[in-house]
C-alpha cells in the first residue's frame, strides 16, 4: 500500500516546471500517473493506484513537496480521516477511559490535535472518503462493536459534555477582551475556589492581555476545569509553567479522573510530567504533514520507554532510526578548564521587583542550566549577561560576544522566507559546513526554508530562533526556554545540539528551561533561582549538577529516580518508599 502526499505549503505551481511528471516512467509509458488538478491552485495530483513507488518524483521536485510512503496493506481499512487527495491521513483513534488519564505522545504535525477534535465532536471524520460529506451515522457503523462505539455514540447524541483547553493559549487575548475575573465568570460563577487553588488572586482583576504566558496558561486550565463536563481535553498544559506549577496542575488534572471519575485526555511533551500525570498512553507515529498512526494503549511507563527506543515491539515497527538515550555522566572537571567569564554579585531594582545574584564563573565548553520558579529573575539575569539591561550593582566582563534567544519570540512582519532571513542574519556562516551539519540538519530546518517566517507555527518558529542564536559567532549562548512548543523528540535533539556545539566550539551556554529531561540532558552545572515570585528574586550557583539539582528539587519538595531501563529521570510519588528513602538520604536527584 502506497500513499502519495503533496505537502501543500511547499508546492509552488507557478514556479514549477513539472520535472516530476516529465521523468516519471509511468507517464513516459503513457499512463497518467501525475496529472494537473483543475482546482484553483493548479497543484499536481498523484494517482496512487498507478504509482510504482520509484521515488523519481520525490527527487525531482525542487520544493520537496512530494512524499511517497509505503504502509502496511492492513492500514487501508483503518483510515479515520483524510484531508483531500494526496493529503494528510490519520489512522486509528485513541480510546478515552473513564476514571483514568489517557496520555497522547508523539511528534508535532502528525494528527494529535485532529484526533482530539474528532473525539470532542468538533470534527466529523470522513473515514478516508474525502470526496463525500462526512456523516456520523457512517462513522458509528464503522466503529460498531468496538470499544470506541459507545463513547462516539454518546458524543453524537450529545449525552457527553466536553471541556477543551487549546494548545496555543496566547491566542486567548485575541478572542477575549476583559479581566481575568470576567473570563472565569463566563464559565462558572463559583470560580474563587479554583482561583485560590491556582494562586491567581494577584491577577484576578488584571486585563487578560496584560498577564504573562504562564499566568495565561493557568487561567486557561482553570477555565477548562471550571466547566462541568464528562470529558476534559488538555492540549499541552505545561507550556510556560515552572516545575512546581506543572506538578500542581498535574495533580489537579489527575483529581478529575481519580475523584470525579471523568474521562481525561492529555497531549503533553514534557515526559516527566506525562509520566507523573497519565495512567496509560497512546503513541502516535508517522511523518509530519503526511500521516499519523495511533498505536494501541500501553501503561504510561512502557509507552514512554517505547517512544524513547523508537521501536514499537507489538507492531514490529521502527518509527525512528535511533533511540534517545540518557547518559548518567560523571561530573565534568572544571578546575583546570579556562574561565570564559566572571560576574560579580549582580543587583537590579525595578518598581515592584528586586533581583540579586551570587557571583559566579562560566568556563569554556560548560553548559549551565538555569532552574527555578517563574517570576524570580531568570530572564532578568540572562538579559543582564546579554547586555540587554544593565545591572544597578555589580560588574560583568564586557570582552565577550553574546548570542541571545529571548523567552517570547515573534515572527518578523516581513514576508521573507526562512532561508532568506537566516542568510541575511548569519551571512557566510549559513552556507558553512558547521551550520548545515551541526545545527540545520538536527533541527530539521530544510523543510522550513521555503516557508514565510510570519506563517511558522510555534514549534517551527522556536527551531528557527534556536538555530539563529546558535549560528551566530559568540562566546556565550543564552537561550531562554528553548524547549517551548517543541515535541519530545525535538526537545531531545535540541538539547543534544546545544551541548555538542558548546563542546566542539569550546564556547559556553546558559539555558533557562522548565523541562527536567531537557535540563538533565544539556547541563554540566546548575544555577538555582528562588525568592518570592514577582517581588524578589535570588540566584545561587553555578553548582555542580548533582548539588544544584538537589538544592532545587528540595525546594520544590519532590524527588526523582532514574528509570532502570532508559536512565531517564522519573518523579517519585509523594510518600512512596523511594520518596521517603531519598529524602532520608538527602538525595532528591538520584543518579545511581
* Per-residue H/E/C for 312-353: EHHHCEECCCCCCCCCCCCCCCCCCCCEEEEECCCEEECCCC
Tell me the Ramachandran region of residue 119: left when phi exceeds 0, alpha when psi lies from -120 to 50, beta otherwise.
Answer: alpha
Q: Which residue has the cell 523511594?
A: 578
Give 9's DSSP letter.
Answer: G
* CA 374 vs CA 245, 250, 342, 540, 541: distances in Å: 9, 17, 25, 16, 18
CA proximity to 111, closest of 495, 487, 493, 491: 487
Q: Scan for cell 513537496, then name that residue.
A: 65
Q: Where in the chain is the domain with CATH 3.40.50.300?
A: 76-161+229-309, 339-545
Which of 247, 255, 242 has the alpha carbon at shortest distance from 275?
Answer: 247
**Cβ atoms 23, 98 nearer than 8 A:** no
Query: How far is it, in rounded angstroms, from Cα 178 to Cα 312?
Result: 48
CA atoms within 13 A on the CB side of 166: 8
Three cell numbers, residue 50: 498507478
Closest CA to 213 of 278, 168, 248: 168
pLDDT value at residue 24: 81
The CATH classification number of 339-545 equals 3.40.50.300
137: burial class by Cβ within 10 Å (0-12, 13-18, 19+)? Answer: exposed
pLDDT at 50: 78
Asked if 297 and 280 touch (Cβ cutoff 8 Å), the reply is yes
Find, among 151, 386, 400, 99, the residue nearest to 256 by Cα.
Answer: 99
CATH architecture of 76-161+229-309: 3-Layer(aba) Sandwich (3.40)
From the centroid of its chain, how far is CA 40? 35
Tell me what pLDDT residue 331 has: 63
C-alpha cell at 215: 499566568
Between CA 247 and CA 255, with CA 251 as vertex, the angle to 5 degrees is 170
DSSP H helical ranges for 72-226 = 112-119, 136-143, 147-156, 172-175, 180-187, 192-198, 213-226
> Which uninterrupted H or E stretch holds 287?
strand 280-287
**How far is Cα 501 from Cα 414, in angstroms, rounded to an integer?**
30
- How far, in Å, CA of 222 to CA of 213, rounded? 14
Taking the C-alpha atoms of residue 194 and residue 246, their distance in angstroms, rounded to an integer, is 16
- Say if strands 298-299 and 291-294 run parallel, antiparallel, or are unpaired: unpaired
Distance, in Å, from the CA atom of 585 to the CA atom of 121, rounded to the nearest integer, reads 50
Residues 6 or more apart whose Cβ sits within 8 Å of residue 422: 430, 445, 464, 467, 468, 471
Residue 444, phi-psi category: left (phi > 0), alpha (psi -120 to 50), beta (remainder):
left
Strands (E), 288-436: 291-294, 298-299, 311-312, 317-318, 339-343, 347-349, 354-357, 360-363, 367-371, 402-405
* pLDDT tens digit at each of 592 positions of the chain: 677 777 766 777 777 777 777 788 777 777 766 665 555 566 777 888 778 778 888 888 877 788 888 776 667 779 999 998 888 999 999 999 999 999 999 998 899 989 999 999 999 999 999 889 999 999 999 999 998 999 999 999 999 999 999 887 878 888 888 999 999 999 999 999 999 999 899 899 999 888 888 889 999 999 999 999 999 999 999 988 888 889 999 999 999 999 999 999 999 999 999 999 999 999 999 988 889 999 999 999 999 999 999 999 888 888 888 888 887 765 666 667 778 888 889 999 998 899 999 988 888 889 999 998 888 888 888 888 878 888 999 988 766 788 999 887 777 666 688 999 999 999 999 999 999 999 999 999 988 888 888 888 888 999 999 999 999 999 889 998 999 889 998 999 999 999 999 989 989 999 999 998 899 899 999 999 999 888 899 999 899 888 999 999 998 889 999 888 888 889 998 889 999 999 998 899 875 5
Indicate the CATH number of 2-70 among 3.40.50.1000, 1.10.287.1080, 3.40.50.2300, 3.30.70.20.
Answer: 3.30.70.20
Task: Specify the domain boundaries for CATH 3.30.70.20 within the chain.
Answer: 2-70
Q: How many angstroms separate the Cα of 366 from the Cα of each of 109, 543, 548?
A: 34, 12, 15
Amino acid at each position: 500500500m502506497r500513499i502519495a502526499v503533496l505537502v501543500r505549503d511547499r508546492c509552488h505551481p507557478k514556479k514549477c516546471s513539472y520535472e516530476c511528471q516529465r521523468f516519471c516512467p509511468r507517464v513516459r509509458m503513457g499512463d497518467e500517473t501525475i496529472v494537473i488538478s483543475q482546482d484553483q491552485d493548479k497543484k499536481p495530483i498523484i494517482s496512487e493506484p498507478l504509482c510504482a513507488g520509484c521515488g523519481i518524483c520525490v527527487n525531482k521536485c525542487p520544493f520537496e513537496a512530494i512524499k511517497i510512503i509505503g504502509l502496511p496493506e492492513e492500514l487501508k481499512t483503518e483510515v479515520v480521516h483524510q484531508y483531500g487527495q494526496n493529503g494528510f491521513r490519520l489512522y486509528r483513534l485513541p480510546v478515552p477511559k473513564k476514571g483514568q488519564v489517557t496520555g497522547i505522545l508523539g511528534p508535532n504535525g502528525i494528527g494529535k490535535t485532529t484526533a482530539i477534535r474528532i473525539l470532542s465532536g468538533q470534527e466529523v471524520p470522513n473515514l478516508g472518503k474525502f470526496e463525500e460529506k462526512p456523516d456520523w451515522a457512517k462513522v458509528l457503523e464503522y466503529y460498531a462493536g468496538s470499544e470506541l462505539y459507545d463513547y462516539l455514540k454518546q458524543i453524537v447524541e450529545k449525552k457527553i459534555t466536553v471541556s477543551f483547553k487549546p494548545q496555543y493559549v496566547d491566542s486567548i487575548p485575541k478572542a477575549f477582551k476583559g479581566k481575568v475575573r470576567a473570563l472565569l465568570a463566563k464559565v462558572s460563577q463559583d470560580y474563587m475556589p479554583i482561583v485560590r487553588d491556582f494562586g491567581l488572586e494577584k491577577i484576578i482583576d488584571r486585563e487578560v492581555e496584560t498577564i504573562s504566558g504562564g499566568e495565561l496558561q493557568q487561567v486557561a486550565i482553570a477555565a477548562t476545569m471550571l466547566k462541568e463536563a464528562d470529558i476534559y481535553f488538555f492540549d499541552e498544559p505545561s507550556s510556560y509553567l515552572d516545575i512546581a506549577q506543572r506538578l500542581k496542575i498535574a495533580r489537579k488534572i489527575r483529581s478529575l479522573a481519580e475523584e470525579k471519575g471523568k474521562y481525561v485526555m492529555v497531549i503533553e511533551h514534557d515526559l516527566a510530567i506525562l509520566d507523573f500525570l497519565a495512567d496509560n498512553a497512546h503513541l502516535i507515529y508517522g511523518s509530519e504533514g503526511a500521516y499519523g498512526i495511533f498505536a494501541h494503549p500501553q501503561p504510561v511507563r512502557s509507552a514512554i520507554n517505547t517512544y524513547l527506543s523508537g521501536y514499537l515491539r507489538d507492531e514490529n515497527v521502527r518509527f525512528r532510526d535511533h533511540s534517545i538515550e540518557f547518559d548518567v555522566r560523571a561530573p565534568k572537571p572544571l578546575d583546570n578548564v579556562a574561565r570564559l567569564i566572571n560576574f560579580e554579585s549582580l543587583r537590579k531594582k525595578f518598581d515592584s521587583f528586586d533581583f540579586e545574584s551570587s557571583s559566579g564563573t562560566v568556563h569554556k565548553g560548560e553548559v549551565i542550566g538555569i532552574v527555578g520558579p517563574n517570576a524570580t529573575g531568570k530572564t532578568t539575569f540572562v538579559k543582564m549577561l546579554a547586555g540587554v539591561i544593565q545591572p544597578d550593582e555589580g560588574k560583568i566582563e564586557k570582552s565577550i560576544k553574546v548570542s541571545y534567544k529571548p523567552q517570547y519570540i515573534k515572527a518578523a512582519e516581513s514576508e521573507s522566507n526562512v532561508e532568506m532571513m537566516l542568510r541575511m542574519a548569519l551571512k557566510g556562516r549559513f552556507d558553512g559546513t558547521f551550520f548545515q551539519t551541526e545545527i540545520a540538519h538536527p533541527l530539521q530546518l530544510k523543510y522550513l526554508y521555503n516557508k514565510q517566517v510570519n506563517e511558522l507555527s510555534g514549534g517551527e518558529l522556536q527551531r528557527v530562533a534556536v538555530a539563529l542564536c546558535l549560528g551566530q559567532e559568540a562566546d556565550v549562548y543564552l537561550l531562554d526556554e528553548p524547549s517551548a512548543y517543541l515535541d519530545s523528540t525535538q526537545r531531545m535533539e535540541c538539547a543534544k545540539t546545544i551541548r555538542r556545539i558548546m563542546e566542539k566550539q569550546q564556547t559556553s551556554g546558559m539555558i533557562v528551561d522548565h523541562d527536567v529531561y531537557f535540563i538533565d540532558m544539556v547541563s554540566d552545572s546548575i544555577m538555582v533561582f528562588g525568592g518570592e515570585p514577582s517581588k524578589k528574586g535570588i540566584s545561587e550557583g553555578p553548582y555542580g549538577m548533582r548539588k544544584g539539582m538537589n538544592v532545587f528539587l528540595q525546594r520544590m519538595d519532590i524527588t526523582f529516580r532514574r528509570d532502570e531501563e532508559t536512565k531517564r529521570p522519573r518523579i517519585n510519588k509523594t510518600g512512596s518508599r523511594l520518596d521517603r528513602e531519598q529524602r532520608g538520604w538527602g538525595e532528591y536527584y538520584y543518579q545511581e
